[in-house]
Amino acid sequence: MAKDLDMRKAPQVGDTVDWNTSQGKTTGVVTRKVTKTATVKGHTAKATKSKPEFEVKTLKSGKKAIHTAQALKRHG
């Protein structure tokens, strides 16, 4: 069973973060905190208030995706 994320360590809107993709590490900015079901590029994120996910926009291409906080590593 995965540990619950300490929300004090969770990414915030405007944070620069990295995450892994099939093409390698990607860098982007958190654009919003998702707390309900949302769809981006055909992927449906089933986020909740107690288990939010985060929409990110890549710096290179400007494309958006939704990831769990555990998948994102904040800079700094």
2 lies in a domain?
A: no
> How many Å apart are CA 32 and CA 53, to the nearest integer?
9
Judge whether residue 32 has pLDDT over 70: yes
* pLDDT range class, residue 42, cuts 50, 70, 90: confident
Query: Is residue 4 domain-resident?
Result: no
| CA quadruple 59, 60, 61, 63: dihedral sign | negative
In this prediction, residue 2 carries a pLDDT of 45
Give me the domain span that covers residue 15.
10-74
Residue 26 domain-assigned?
A: yes
Q: Would you say residue 3 lies in a domain?
A: no
Counted domains in the chain = 1
Residue 69 included in any domain: yes
Domain membership flag for residue 1: no
Assign residue 27 the CATH number of its domain.
2.30.30
β-strand pairing of 37-40 with 43-46: antiparallel
